[in-house]
Structure 1
Amino acid sequence: MFCIQCEQTINTPDLHGCVFRGNCGKTPETSDLQDLLVAMIESLSAWAMTAKAAGADVTKAAVFVPKAFFSTLTNVNFDPARITAYIREAEALRDELAATCAAAGAAKPDHPLADLTVKGLCAKGLDDAAKAVKLNADGVDADIEGLQLLCLYGLKGAAAYLEHAAVLGVRNEDVEAKLMETLADIGRRSNDAAKLLDTALSIGRLNFEIMEMLERANTTAYGHPFPAQVRASAVKGKAILVSGHDLRDLRLILEQTEGKGINVYTNGELLPAHAYPELRRFKHLVGNYGSAWHNQQTEFAAFPGPIVMTTNCILDPNPGKYADRIYTRSMVGWPGCTHLATDDFSPVIEQALAMPGFTADEPERTVSTGFGRQILEGAADTVLKLVGEKKLRHVFLVGGCDGARSSRSYYTEFVEKVPADCLMLTLACGKYRFNGKSYGNVGGLPRLLDVGQCNDAYAAIRLAVLLAEKAGCGVNDLPLTLVLSWFEQKAIAILLTLLALGVKGIYIGPTLPAFLTPNLINTLVSAYDLHVISTPDEDLKAILG
């Protein structure tokens, strides 16, 4: 296997990437099958573009590709059988389009994977096929390979956001076509550095469109978020825990459990769900349990009810002995765990009723969330007024993915050391490093504002654009600094979006992606003033003077 897509990557001089087993728990079989799936949807995408040019309907491919691509992100699907099924479905869809193209007289696409096939192959044959399409091709320059992977991983993140929007019925055929066109192009393995860098930035621009679609999908379905104090301690009673990112699944569970005496808790990236009017109206959505994804093996083991994992961030449930009560949805998978292929959550509900739940109320603790785009834009004039009056010195966005490395304590310390005359925004699960504390107010505004999920990064970007417009300056002229924590491919997509928008001076850590070579890092530093975090004191001094 060769996997280098996330911050858990083993990156030593002798092992550049995970090659024996993923630090996430991914086996070589699973990793290689994921690479083969990527190659097959690259082939499918190439045929879809040819078919579309011939006037054919490519809807089935456009719907399938983002979901299948999403299944290859970090900590999403570890089940070889499920991934193999995606590979075979992709090939079947590709062959349908090939037949359509032949009937229309369209030529076969000029693509190295156009004829990729796995028909009739057993497990050993699939393994051999995967080795033929491995991501670390022999003889490829390290800088070129790094740019190829930057494009691939950034597009994975964009595909995940596109799938999040699609499950809520928000689709855009032009955007879907652009995603498939880019995926097909990545499959050609260009060795042109300038072209690859242009592709990476085009992925960032595409992701900006996709994130607007996702925000529109969420707010149309559930209303605009508004600030909420969310209980972070247990309530006596039967319980179901919902983790991941999917608001639709949470809504279905709330509807199906209403009146059944079951309390529903969110976990991880679903904390911001409590800010949406159409979700918080359910009285049995009682709070948020636990913290970031990397703590789940301990926290899930202690939860006295079933758990539903709706999207990425699943870890091996076997050490915590809760594999018999964790359920996976959509593209998520773990071998031996129950997968719910329909919207019927009856098995989860029945298990919740059979389990003890929490036997007593815990002392009440709360955390805040819900400072979405509408709220932030409403505060824009106040922010500029406070800046003009020199009551507000600087705005920081401190957010991104959390992880288990001890170096991530940087973000806790950074927030604690930000001066009292500064405002802090946060989003994604990185906020669990510091969101349990009170940081007071500045000019009547809470100093720490939780914008939401990583999916809600669009809100923070739009605020920056609005502030710049109102102030009559560029985004880089604002007293605004982004301090980001990187982990996986959604974060790469967001970083590419920021770079495509021309945002400079970003601080990122605790480590940079291992697929970015020193030459590529120097290129980004030179072009975008990108900074690798050092210490909170040094970075604050550099930013604030």
Structure 2
Amino acid sequence: MNTQMFCFQCEQTAGCKGCTGAAGVCGKTADVSALQDQLTGALIGLARAVDASPDSSENASRLIIRGLFTTITNVNFNEETLRSLIAEVHQEKKRLVPDCGDCGSPCGRTSDYDMAKIWQADVDVRSLKSRILFGIRGMAAYAYHAEVLGYSDRDVNYFFIKALFALGEDWGMDELLPIVLETGEVNFKCMELLDRANTETYGNPSPVTVPLTVEKGPFIVITGHDLFDLKQLLEQTEDKGINIYTHGEMLPAHAYPELKKYPHLKGNFGTAWQNQQKEFANLPAPILFTTNCLMPPKDSYKDRVFTTEVVSYPEVVHIGEDKDFTPVIQKALELGGFDEDTAFTGINGGTTVTTGFGHNTVLSVADQVIKAVKKGSIRHFFLVGGCDGARAGRNYYTEFVKKVPADSVILTLACGKYRFNDLDLGTIDGLPRLMDMGQCNDAYSAIRVALALAEAFGCGVNELPLSMVFSWYEQKAVCILLTLLHLGIKNIRLGPTLPAFLSPNVLAYLVENYQIAPTTTPEDDLKEILGIEE
């Protein structure tokens, strides 16, 4: 295609301005980027056709959700599958409005949208439209995982159509800003939906200690967010002498009763996604990617990588909708695993990690938490979580957690926790000081806990002794941030850099109305949060 790309949707975008030229920092080519833009433009056309058609369908909603999920950073690098999905979108649009293409007076409403109109728009319009687009991309991942388990919500599905429609309109800041905030509102409902889907399907998570040692013999590493794929893999490997290890955002699966009951779900391998090219290089086992974050696999282990769902990479074996993991199982048996038990550690040298502190668990000891706060044993809560990444400066989060006073509790979630989740921080009045609440979508758990504590103390969330310090990388972090803003939560610290798609005026709005701020240094941020004077 010989195209030049423009993409600034992730935290590591080149120069904190945007990836241009032949390839992006994530590894996608300019051609893949162009196809993702074409897919997005086709989805905008489909959304407008759905809006115009009396015969809008559930199939269109599913297609929109799948298409948006496909364009998230580090999900799909495959030109062939992108072209196929674009064709599906066109076919669905033709089915909904069959005479549109033959119209003698074309209105242009349902045509594929040219994404250059956004990327080249007024800087503030571009900023707000980007927040909407990246927000619904992140939300689409959550809606997709819920849908796999048979859970959907008409209001959530309709909002995808509404938001895409807005992206195709020639609107200014006054019309776009309410859509930005509504994205956060609807994402809260979507996260609640996924939480219900997961807990009603697999049970309420409970705290569990997960070893980092890999036992001898054949094994499979599974990464990503999709618990359904893990369940299928566990069923298909039962009694086959193959152990299963989680990686990245799959770690919280160990806490669900219907998953941890399988004795061959053994432990966790590796750390966060950005270390995979090093950690997978000499691994005598296959790796199954169920969602992002897939980095372009190196030749040294490419034949051991398998993808499923919307994840795709050229020349990598893809497991289709039938969920027959036989190729993965055969590869595990062929490679044989380690000859003896092999001990690994976390970034800080720890040999185990804990997880499973969802809202059900934390709220079950709410009386104990409230008592500890009232008597002064717990001075402050810190929610330190979000995406990890490779950009310099992310050691901030490790140092921040190490420097948090001993009378404070740290809640964490998402893969950013791998910076510090193997630290032994001890307990306060029998409560662990470090509580892993789960995946990025489990920000819903953190919000539930915060709202419950605010009610118990008879104050607003912003009056609680609670501070939020987030790292971000991709679009799911964007929709979570919008949810927090929708709930009126202020004084959020965000790093290691602020999003490139924030225009100066939009940033000024966030600072003025929500007091959002960039991270600085652990020492200075802690002094300001805790009111420590020099």
TM-score (norm 1): 0.92
Q: Alpha-carbon deviations, 1:449-485, whole Å to 9, x = none?
A: 0000002110000111111111111111100011000
Q: Residue 50 of structure 1: CA displacement?
A: 2.2
Q: Deviations over 1:271-317 (max 9, x none)?
A: 00000000000000111000000000111122211111000100111
Comparing 399-408 and 358-367, the one that deviates more = 358-367
Give the distance between the partners of 2:21 and 2:510, measured in 1 at CA.
Answer: 27
Q: Which amino acid aligns with 1:490?
A: K
Structure 1 residues 146-545: aligned runs within 5 Å: 146-190=127-171, 192-319=172-299, 321-341=300-320, 342-363=322-343, 365-545=351-531
Distance 2:50 2:93 in 1: 8
CA displacement 1:416-446 (0-9 Å, x = unmatched): 0000000000000000000111001112100
- Residue 121 of structure 1 is matched in structure 2 by none
In structure 2, relative to structure 1, the CA distance for the partners of 1:225 and 1:137 (3 Å cut) is closer
Q: In the superposition, relative to structure 1, how do residues 81 and 417 fare at CA in structure 2: closer, same or farther (>3 Å)?
A: same
Deviations 1:18-61 (A, max 9, x none): 3431001110000000001001011111111222xx2x251110
Q: Residues 408 and 510 of structure 1 are in contact (CA less than 8 Å); yes or no, is this contact kept in structure 2?
A: yes
CA deviation profile, 1:187-237 (whole Å, cap 9, x unmatched) = 2242x1122221110000000000000000100110000000001111111
Which deviates the most, 21-30 or 350-359?
Answer: 350-359
Structure 1 residues 40 and 437: CA distance shift in structure 2, 3 A: same
TM-superposed CA distance for 1:171, in Å, is 0.9
Residues of 2 paired with 1:451 and 1:300: CA distance?
Answer: 26
For residue 116 of structure 2, what is the amino acid of its counterpart?
K
CA distance in 2, matches of 1:107, 1:205: 40
Paired letter, 1:40? A
Q: Which sections of structure 1, spanning at least 5 residues, go unmatched? A: 117-129
Which residue does 2:41 correspond to in 1?
39
Q: Establish whether residue 10 from structure 1 lines up as the match of residue 6 from structure 2.
A: no
In structure 1, how many angstroms separate the alpha carbons of the residues matched to 2:355 and 2:119?
45
Take 1:20 and 1:449, find their aligned partners in 2: how far apart are those partners?
A: 42
Distance 1:301-1:391 versus aligned 2 partners, 3 A rule: same
CA distance in 1, matches of 2:378, 2:106: 57
CA contact (8 A) 1:241 1:264 kept: yes
1:148–1:189 CA contact under 8 A, matched in 2: no
1:93 corresponding residue in structure 2: 92
Contact 2:218 2:338 in 1 (8 A): yes
Separation of aligned partners in 1, 2:522 and 2:343: 33
Identity of aligned residues (%): 48
Q: Is contact 2:215-2:338 (8 Å) kept?
A: yes
Distance across 2 between alignment mates of 1:75 and 1:57: 31
Q: How far has the Cα of 1:101 moved from its partner? A: 8.9
Q: 1:133 to 1:517 in 2, by over 3 A?
A: closer
Aligned residues of 1:9 and 1:17 also touching (Cα < 8 A): yes
Aligned to 1:483, the other structure's residue is in SS state strand
Q: C-alpha root-mean-square deviation of aligned residues, in Å?
A: 1.9
Q: Is the 8 A contact 1:39 1:113 kept in 2?
A: no
Q: Which residues in structure 2 correspond to 1:65-104 (within 5 Å)?
A: 65-99=64-98
The Cα of 1:406 is off from its aligned counterpart by: 2.2
Question: Gaps spanning 5+ residues in structure 2: where?
Answer: 345-350
1:20 to 5, 19, 22: 22
Structure 1 residue runs of 4+, over 4 Å off? 106-110
Q: Shift in Å at residue 356 of structure 1?
A: 2.1
1:492 maps to a residue whose letter is V
